[in-house]
């Protein structure tokens, strides 16, 4: 119990610093001006016998100090500010949380080394087939293109523009593409766009039944 200590007349006052070496934390009591070491308490486990809290306060603890020659002693330490006592607890908890994580990672790495290893290399004569975007390559070419729908006479037609009224209020005019006869070469007259001023004849191609030859 901290109430049994002479809290109004402490035997020593200074600063506390916590350091770590490997998995061991060291509570160091140092002179607040010169930094000279007064005593230190190695902590190998927390909570444990090296650091214990009192039953009647959250600001006072009992720590086990060592001089490096095998001599040990238990002393009582206390913090004026409750926030400093909280930081003292958190610093020790964080250190030993890190120790547990490192131990777990080392154990997992050892299990992986002892377990069976996967051989992902190709065996002799083994091949693999890749299907990239379902594209088939033509023989002697770099690839095939997507065919377009063919219109009359083997010409590719684009879809008509969306319907609607023009600015002058006139309705759009539908144009027909003449059909090419078998064996007839495509000329400029077949592909020329009809002039808007020319009036379409009743029969563009005439009567084929009466044509000679």
- Specify the pLDDT at position 115: 65
Residues spanned by the domain of 61: 2-114
> Number of folded domains in the chain?
1
Q: What is the CATH number of the domain that holds 46?
A: 2.30.29.30
- Specify the pLDDT at position 187: 54
- Distance from C-alpha of 157 to C-alpha of 167, rounded to nearest angstrom: 26
Q: Does some domain include residue 165?
A: no
Examine the pLDDT at 12 and tell me if it is beyond 80. yes
- Specify the pLDDT at position 125: 76
Least confident interval from 37-41, 97-101, 151-155: 151-155
Q: Does some domain include residue 133?
A: no
- Specify the pLDDT at position 98: 93
Residue-wise pLDDT for 87-141, tens only, equals 999 999 999 999 999 888 888 887 777 766 666 777 777 788 777 876 655 555 5
- The answer to whether the peptide bond before residue 141 is cis (omega within 30 degrees of 0) is no
- Distance from C-alpha of 31 to C-alpha of 33, rounded to nearest angstrom: 6
Q: Does some domain include residue 81?
A: yes
Of the candidates 7, 14, 5, the one whose C-alpha atom is nearest the C-alpha of residue 39 is 14
Structure tokens at 123: 């065996």
**Residue 207: pLDDT band by 50, 70, 90 thresholds?**
low
* Mean per-residue pLDDT of the chain: 76
- Distance from C-alpha of 46 to C-alpha of 52, rounded to nearest angstrom: 9
Helix (H, G, I), strand (E, B) or coil at 191: helix
Q: Does some domain include residue 171?
A: no
The percent of residues in the chain predicted with pLDDT above 90, rounded, is 34
Residues near 153 by Cβ (< 8 Å), separated by ≥ 6?
177, 178, 179, 180, 186, 190
Cβ-contact 39, 29 below 8 angstroms: yes
Cβ-contact 14, 87 below 8 angstroms: no
**Residue 13: pLDDT band by 50, 70, 90 thresholds?**
very high
Hey, which residues does 75 pair with through a beta bridge?
Answer: 63
Q: Does some domain include residue 55?
A: yes
Residue-wise pLDDT for 42-83, tens only, equals 999 888 899 999 999 999 999 999 988 889 999 999 998 999
- Specify the pLDDT at position 178: 54
pLDDT: is 107 or 41 the higher one? 41
- Specify the pLDDT at position 95: 94
- State pTM to two decimals: 0.50
Hey, which residues does 27 pair with through a beta bridge?
Answer: 18, 41
Structure tokens at 68: 């490096």
- Specify the pLDDT at position 108: 84
Q: Does some domain include residue 63?
A: yes
Q: Does some domain include residue 213?
A: no
Q: Does some domain include residue 205?
A: no
**Residue 14: pLDDT band by 50, 70, 90 thresholds?**
very high
């Amino acid at each position: 119990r901290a109430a049994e200590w002479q809290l109004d007349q402490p035997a020593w006052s200074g600063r506390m610093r916590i350091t770590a070496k490997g998995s061991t934390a060291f509570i160091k009591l140092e002179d607040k001006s010169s930094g000279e070491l007064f005593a230190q308490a190695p902590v190998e486990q927390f909570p444990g016998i090296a650091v214990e809290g009192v039953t009647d306060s959250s600001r006072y603890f009992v720590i086990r100090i060592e001089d490096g020659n095998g001599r040990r002693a238990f002393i009582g330490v206390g913090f004026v500010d409750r926030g400093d006592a909280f930081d003292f607890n958190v610093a020790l908890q964080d250190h030993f949380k890190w120790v547990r994580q490192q131990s777990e990672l080392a154990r997992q790495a050892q299990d992986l080394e002892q377990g069976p290893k996967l051989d992902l290399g190709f065996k002799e004569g083994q091949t693999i087939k890749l299907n990239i975007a379902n594209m088939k390559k033509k023989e002697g070419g770099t690839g095939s293109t997507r065919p377009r729908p063919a219109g009359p006479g083997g010409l590719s037609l684009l879809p008509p523009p969306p319907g609607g009224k023009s600015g002058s209020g006139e309705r759009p005019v539908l144009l027909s593409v003449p059909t090419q006869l078998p064996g007839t070469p495509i000329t400029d007259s077949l592909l020329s766009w009809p002039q808007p001023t020319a009036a379409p004849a009743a029969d563009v191609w005439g009567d084929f039944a009466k044509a000679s030859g």
